[in-house]
Structure 1
Amino acid sequence: MPWDPEQYARFESWRRRPAHDLVAALPSLTPRTVVDLGCGAGQLARRLAERWPEAEVLGVDNSPAMLERARTTPSRVRWLQADLGVWRPDRPVDLLISNAALQWLDGHERLLPELLRALAPGGVLAVQMPRNFDAPSHRLLYETAADGPWAERLAPVLRTAPVHAPDVYYDWLAPLTRRLDLWETEYLQVLEGDDPVLEWTRGTTLLPVLDTLAGAELDAFLAAYRARLNAAYPRRPDGRTLFPFKRLFLVARV
């Protein structure tokens, strides 16, 4: 599934804010080793390297395009391309942080305990994941996928509920941690431009569709999806579009 760094960066200010909120919620620590799992173009990893100049910082991502973008900005962060579902650090980590990445992976009941076990004593796992999958932006995508001649091909590639409710994560992780903080925030994102919700999803949720369909068939899908989105997210009198977006946060210390 190819990532487009340019498309993803179109809404960078809104995508960056949850990362800031996640870092702000970290407990007091002076890590020697930091891993940004799903680092993308590297903004968060570089910020962590500046915050802890003595720490060894590693950014891991599975997208060559994102890592190529990360390497264009000089920093002391080390970058690694790897499958996030199977990669694990070869020695204990003091801070393992993941911002808007783990929602792409299945098996959270196995994955997150494994990440906790990768921490050094007193280490911290900090995770932020979108949990907007029952919002119109996503429900209408699934409806559009199910309604057309593309339904059979899109059914296997669209994941409708990849992130669980907070209490589910509590039950999985609380027995393994000394402290576990869980919360959700809904950001009222004020977007500008034409078809802004469609353009937002082009950078993330639509990627499996863009990877599966092409040509006139993709155009037809996007036209049907756009019409549904415009009805669900009408442009306001000032020309802007409101796009509420819910995200799940967890900060665990072992």
Structure 2
Amino acid sequence: MDWNSDQYLKFKSERTQPAVDLVNRISAVNPEKILDIGCGPGNSTEVLYNKFPKAYILGVDISEEMIRTARMKYPNLDFRICDAGKDLSQLDNDFDIVFSNACIQWVPDHRNLIRNMLLKRFARYQEERI
């Protein structure tokens, strides 16, 4: 299934509000790297950027159209095509925040997905403890 970014953005305000609510609950101070899994057309990535403007933020999504739209709308942010169910291991493992607003329900094998999401943060945590 590929997503239509124009259709998705017809309800941008409604789709973005949960991301705003989630980001406002993040208590991290001065994160350096943030991963936005299932970034869609970049609206949730923009919310993260607005709260953490000094952080490097990578938005990933399986949809080529969504990534194309995100790159066009937010050229100052980094976006990549990535299947969260299969390709998270190909990304760095040193993110301070691993964020996902509305993607997890679309990815099969939640046990593997959650483990891989935690590993993206765990390596950073291990480095800090050394």
TM value normalised by structure 2: 0.84
Which residue pairs with 1:121 in the alignment? 125
SS of the aligned residue for 2:19 comes to: helix
Partner of 1:95: 97
- CA-to-aligned-CA distance 1:98-149 (integer Å, 9 cap, x gap): 1101111111122112211220219xxxxxxxxxxxxxxxxxxxxxxxxxxx
Rg comparison, structure with higher value: 1
Task: Give the aligned residue type for 1:110.
Answer: N
Deviation (angstroms), 1:28: 3.3
Contact residue 46 and residue 75 of structure 1 kept, 8 A: no
> Residues of 2 paired with 1:94 and 1:121: CA distance?
8
Q: Give the count of matched residue pairs.
A: 122
TM-score by length of 1: 0.45
Distance 1:71 1:110 in 2: 28
In the TM superposition, residue 26 of structure 1 has moved relative to its aligned partner by: 1.1
| 2:56 aligned with 1:52 | no
Distance 2:74 2:27 in 1: 28
1:9 to 1:55, Cα distance in 2 relative to 1, 3 A: same
State how far apart, in whole Å, the 2-side matches of 1:49 and 1:102 are: 21
Percentage of pairs with the same residue: 34
User: Which residue number corresponds to residue 39 of structure 2?
Assistant: 39
Summarize deviations over 1:178-236 as a string: whole Å, max 9, x none.
Answer: xxxxxxxxxxxxxxxxxxxxxxxxxxxxxxxxxxxxxxxxxxxxxxxxxxxxxxxxxxx
Question: Residue by residue, what CA displacement relative to the aligned partner does 1:26-55 show, whole Å, maximum 9, x if unpaired?
Answer: 123221101111100001212322322221
Kept in 1: contact 2:93–2:119 (CA 8 A): no
Structure number with the higher helix fraction is 2
* Structure 2 Cα separation of the partners of residues 20 and 52 of structure 1: 12
Structure 2: 5+ residue runs without aligned partners? none
The reply on whether 1:5 has 2:8 as its aligned counterpart is no
Question: Which protein is richer in strand relative to its size?
Answer: 1
Letter in 1 for 2:105: Q
Task: Please state how far the C-alpha of 1:9 moved relative to its aligned partner.
Answer: 1.6
Partners of 1:43 and 1:58 lie apart in 2 by 13
> Are the equivalent residues in 1 in contact too, given 2:60–2:82 (CA < 8 A)?
yes
Instruction: Check conservation: 1:58, 1:77, Cα contact below 8 A.
Output: yes
Distance 1:50 1:21 in 2: 13
Give the distance between the partners of 2:102 and 2:119, measured in 1 at CA: 21
The ranges of structure 1 where at least 4 consecutive aligned residues each deviate by more than 3 angstroms after the TM superposition are none
Is the Cα contact below 8 Å between 2:37 and 2:61 reproduced in 1? yes
Please say if residues 5 and 41 of structure 1, whose CA atoms lie closer than 8 Å, have aligned partners that are also in contact.
Answer: yes
